[in-house]
Amino acid sequence: MASVVFYFQVHQPFRLRRYSIFDSDINYFDDWRNETVLRKVAGKCYLPANRTILDMIRRHEGRFRVSYSLTGTVLEQFRRWAPEVLKSFHDLAATGCVEFIAETYYHSLAFLYNRDEFIAQTHMHRRLMKDLFGQEPRIFRNTELTYNNDVAKVVEDMGFDAILTEGADHILGYRSPNFIYNPPNCGHLRMLMKNYRLSDDIAFRFSNRGWSEWPLTAEKFANWVDQINGNGYVCNLFMDYETFGEHQWADTGIFEFLRVLPEKILTGGKNDFLTVSQAIHRYPSVGEVDVPHMISWADTERDISAWLGNSMQANALHDVYALADRVLSTEDAALAHDWRKLQTSDHFYYMCTKWFADGDVHKYFNPYESPYDAYINYMNILDNVRNRIAAKVHA
Amino acid sequence: MKIFMLGWEFPPHISGGLGTACYGMTKGLDEIGVEVVFVLPTAVPLAAPSHVTIRTAAHLQAVAGREGETLFRNVTLHQVDAKLQAYASPPADSKLLQELTAQMQASLSKATTPEFIRILQTELASFSRQFTAGAGVHYGGDLMGQVFRYARLALGLARHERFDVIHAHDWMTYPAGLAVAAVSGKPLVVHVHSTEFDRSGEKINQQVYDIERAGIQGADCVVCVSHLTRSIVAARYGVPEEKLEVVYNAVEWPSDQSGEELKPIRQDEKIVLFLGRVTMQKGPEYFLRAAKKVLEKFTNVRFVMAGSGDMITRCIQEVADLRIGQYVTFTGFLRGEDVNRVFQMADLYVMPSVSEPFGIAPLEALSHNVPVIISKQSGVSEVLTHVLKVDFWDIDEMANKILAVLRYPPLHRTLRQHGHIELRKLSWRDSANRLLGIYNRLSARPG
């Protein structure tokens, strides 16, 4: 038996507006752009993908199962600009075949800079999942699958059962991502590691006509999954949800693929679908995976250099977290919310100067003309946050 | 492959980027084994240059056909005494012009390729008329005289040289290029480093434009220094797209790489540098207005304007009007070691050009480890990513970016590091290889 574990990341940041040093208002976010992007992606991806998945769950009478994590920032945006998307996630939650996974509410890199803030944002997100979908998340995934042994330990201490991360070659070596593992320094916490080859076949290569396997049919893919049989337990397909309809446009046939895949996987009764929690309850850990240094699912390096690879990023991250105590001591909820929205990892990703090799992906997601513009804009806003704090303190 | 190259300035006597470009380009061509005979208008004392063969006026007029001075292994530099100066405005000397025109027409009529000669004769006659009728805005009549004198002398020189392709840099050498092409039957490449629209906005000098157009239309290939320039040439000079090519400029690394240690003792003050001709095209007044905005937030800074030009008085007046005199320094025109020194002192280089076909100075700044802000209206913006870019008119954004570089050392550092790396990808050798491809294609073309 090989179990397909689909996990989809759903996220949109609050992109910043152009903020000059000569600006002094407290409207940091580009509402127009954020609404436009959200509505566009809702129409192209979230609504049709949710519809497809709901249909497949019904058609296969609960044997098709998936897991999601939705960031706090994208959920706020659904509430404001696309409530119908939120409704469709409610419908999915109601099937009982969908698991919601916890992460930091603001899709932040808080773990790297401020442990308390990391825990606070994780609690916020847990509460949100409970409020919206009636689920108490048992599984955690850190922003962009950033992970090391320390993350695992903190996450276990918070009471989670398992954590997701990248099945990076330099970590796994000869071992396969198709098993359940556990961190060396934890008691019961389990690790699920992304099968990046099969995940990326869908997320990145699906429409690539230069790829020798193009066109990728559900049948062919189900065949590859079946090869795990006898040689692994799980097939961890982790990807951005925007793969469906946004990164791979509808006309590539991605929705048809998603529609046919459950049937192809389930045919013959050898393989099935599980949520993350179901997978760790069915299968044991086969051993320890030691991850002393931070890894992630980004770029070819699978490290955190996309967010913390140059001195601008280091400076911006350092400076935003340096404000933690002062922001929180003002007890100004709006200020704290703004400050936390500034922690979203995307802002630092936009400052990445690794143009070459991974440059295309970076440019695609980047609302700025250059990483330098991203940094300057961010630092100008942070300046204003500092002024707000100072004004509060003196008031 | 041997090139008969026509230029109008060459280091150390330069007034802008053209001389620098010609120097780097010929050096790159030399490295890849292309022979170049470089014809210069003026007799200049050469301060032990290392790379082209040069001929003085005396050489040329008295001993035309003899060896020039060798600057690089494969590059010979000839100088004809036409006193060509790009941005001069000397008084008219119509008698001289008429004489020269007549000489040139006489020499042309002996040549063999009728259509070029007809064009040239017509153009010459019309230039002559226009010139005697009145002078241009930027160019004195004497300049026109020099242009044709240069053409005549270059033609004389060409008779004693063997070459495969003629390569003419900017409008002043186009008549010479056309004439030599007509006489020799060799393919002509004209190289557009700037157009009359870049130099004068919409108030173009008709004579200059006419010469430019004649050269561009008469050439077998038009090399533009950027896609920006290519699009201007395509739109304004009625030339088929397939004749247009883009070859980017590059930069010579400063020979003194130990310069870091020679830095003068730094004051606490940050230095923001403008370096270039102080003319409308270069946007000096946007630099000053941005300076004013910067000073609202940050006063530990000095704005240095290095260069001279017809707007210098207006700029000094502007500084007075803006009341920022204590923060602005005018250095006048700098050359050679002084340029290196001012780059070494600078914390930031700003090129706010209104219209900049390429712009080599930002590359020079980067080669000195100075971060740069360039206007989006520049050709160099097509090749640089690790720089800050602004619209020249957006002084708020310019000030915003200047302030960011001054206030945030990580920004300064990242721009320096990545800029320096990026610069290594821009070599004159690569540009020379692009040119060689063009030369090969043209010289292989039948008849």
Mind listing the domains of chain B with CATH numbers?
2-250+429-444 (3.40.50.2000), 257-423 (3.40.50.2000)
Record the tokens describing residue A146, joined without a space.
């950033």
**Mutation target among B289, B385, B396, B417 for the A interface, most CBs of A within 10 A:** B385
Nearest residue to B365 (alpha-carbon basis) of B381, B343, B394 = B343
User: What's the full length of chain A, in residues?
Assistant: 395
Confidence (pLDDT) at B91: 35
User: CB A20 to CB B396 under 8 A?
Assistant: yes
Residue A239: CB partners within 8 Å, gap ≥ 6?
A: A7, A8, A9, A199, A202, A203
User: What's the full length of chain B, in residues?
Assistant: 447
Distance (Å, rounded) from C-alpha B13 to C-alpha B36? 19
Confidence (pLDDT) at B161: 86
Record the tokens describing residue B214, joined without a space.
């004649």
Confidence (pLDDT) at B201: 83
Residues of chain A found within 8 Å of residue B404, distances taken between Cβ atoms: 21, 375-376, 379-380
What is the phi-psi region of residue B78: left when phi exceeds 0, alpha when psi lies from -120 to 50, beta otherwise? beta
Structural domain A2-288, CATH architecture? Alpha-Beta Barrel (3.20)
Q: Between the CA of residue B115 and those of A164, A224, B120, B121, B176, what are the distances in Å?
A: 76, 71, 9, 10, 15
Confidence (pLDDT) at B267: 63
Record the tokens describing residue B131, joined without a space.
């010139």
Are B294 and B399 in contact by the 8 Å Cβ rule? The answer is yes
Q: Between the CA of residue B302 and those of A88, B140, B272, B294, what are the distances in Å?
A: 59, 36, 6, 11
pLDDT at A221 over 50: yes
Q: DSSP letter at A295?
A: B
Nearest to A20 among B385, B397, B407 (CB): B397
Residues of chain A found within 8 Å of residue B373, distances taken between Cβ atoms: none
Confidence (pLDDT) at A29: 98
ipTM above 0.85, yes or no: yes
- In order along its 447 residues, chain B shows pLDDT tens digits of 999 999 988 877 666 778 889 999 999 999 999 999 888 886 554 443 445 555 444 444 444 444 456 667 777 777 666 554 444 333 334 454 455 455 555 544 444 444 444 545 554 554 444 444 433 334 445 778 788 888 888 888 888 889 999 999 999 999 999 999 988 999 999 999 999 999 888 889 888 999 999 999 999 999 999 999 999 999 999 999 999 999 999 988 766 554 454 455 556 899 999 999 899 999 999 999 999 999 999 999 999 999 999 999 999 999 999 999 999 999 998 877 888 899 999 999 999 999 999 999 999 999 999 999 999 999 999 999 999 999 999 999 999 999 999 999 999 999 999 998 899 889 999 999 999 999 999 999 765
Tell me what the pLDDT averaged over chain A comes to. Answer: 95
Distance (Å, rounded) from C-alpha A64 to C-alpha A98? 9
Q: Render pLDDT for A323-364 as a digit per residue (tens, 0 to 9).
A: 999 999 999 999 999 999 999 999 999 999 886 434 555 666
Confidence (pLDDT) at A198: 97
Residue-wise burial string across B406-423, b where 16 or more C-beta atoms lie within 10 A, e elsewhere: bbbebbbebbbbbbbebb
* Helix axes of A371-394 and A311-322: crossing angle, nearest 10 degrees: 20
Q: Where are the domains of chain A?
A: 2-288, 311-394
Residue-wise burial string across B214-253, b where 16 or more C-beta atoms lie within 10 A, e elsewhere: bbbbbbbbbbbbbebbbebbbebbebeeebbbbbbbbbbe
Distance (Å, rounded) from C-alpha A108 to C-alpha B361? 41
Confidence (pLDDT) at B154: 87
Record the tokens describing residue B271, joined without a space.
């230095």
Residues of chain A found within 8 Å of residue B400, distances taken between Cβ atoms: 20-22, 376, 380
Nearest residue to B184 (alpha-carbon basis) of B159, B157, B150 = B159
Confidence (pLDDT) at B137: 37
Residue written as token pair 């020499």: B107
Q: Render pLDDT for A279-308 as a digit per residue (tens, 0 to 9).
A: 999 999 999 999 999 999 988 888 899 999
Q: Render pLDDT for A107-134 as a digit per residue (tens, 0 to 9).
A: 999 999 999 999 999 999 999 999 999 9
User: Which residues of A participate in catalysis according to the annotation?
Assistant: 144
Confidence (pLDDT) at B376: 96
User: CB A380 to CB B397 under 8 A?
Assistant: no
DSSP A147-207: B-HHHHHHHHHTT-SEEEEE--HHHHTTS-TTSEEE-TT-SS-EEEEE-HHHHHHHHTSTT
Confidence (pLDDT) at B51: 55
User: CB A372 to CB B410 under 8 A?
Assistant: no
Confidence (pLDDT) at B148: 83
Tell me the nearest-neighbour CA distance from B420 into chain A, angstroms: 13
A377 — pLDDT class (breaks 50, 70, 90): very high
Residues of chain A found within 8 Å of residue B297, distances taken between Cβ atoms: 21-22
Nearest to A372 among B396, B407, B415 (CB): B415
Q: Which chain B residues touch A if contact means CB-CB below 8 Å? A: 293, 296-297, 385-389, 396-397, 399-401, 403-404, 407-408, 410-411, 413-415, 418
